[in-house]
């Protein structure tokens, strides 16, 4: 499994635009071949900051998504709403406790 975390910071006036767009595309992203899991989080202290957590079969699956028309359409739309450069991390899960 390949886990990707992306931090996004938006101009305050664009938060609802981002959320509406995410609502429209979230199932397409989640159902993209190789995607196993997708969540969106909003920071408790700064409502302009969001994080996406996605799980992919492997790094190649994520790259296939990043090379897709879907990603290009989504990214082209949301990048205009950013107030800061997005940050991304690829991480390994070391432990899960339930």
* pTM of the predicted structure, to 2 decimals: 0.93
- The third-level CATH classification (topology) of the domain covering 2-91 is Alpha-Beta Plaits (3.30.70)
Q: What is the DSSP string of 47-94?
A: TTEEEEEEEESSHHHHHHHHTSHHHHHHHHHHGGGBSS--EEEEE---
**What residue segments make up the domains of the chain, in order of their start?**
2-91
Per-residue pLDDT of the chain (98 residues; tens, 9 = 90+): 999 999 999 999 999 999 999 999 999 999 999 999 999 999 999 999 999 999 999 999 999 999 999 999 999 999 999 999 999 999 999 999 99
Alpha-carbon Rg for the chain in angstroms: 14
Vertex 3 angle, CA 84 and 94, to 5°: 120
């Amino acid at each position: 499994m390949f886990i990707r975390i992306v931090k996004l910071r938006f101009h305050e006036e664009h938060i609802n635009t981002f959320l509406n767009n995410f609502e429209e595309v979230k199932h397409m992203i989640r159902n993209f071949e190789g995607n196993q899991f997708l969540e969106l989080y909003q920071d408790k202290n700064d409502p302009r900051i969001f994080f996406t957590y996605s799980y992919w079969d492997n790094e190649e699956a994520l790259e296939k998504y990043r090379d897709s028309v879907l990603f290009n359409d989504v990214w082209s739309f949301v990048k205009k709403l950013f107030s800061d450069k997005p940050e991304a991390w690829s991480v390994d899960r070391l432990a899960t406790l339930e």
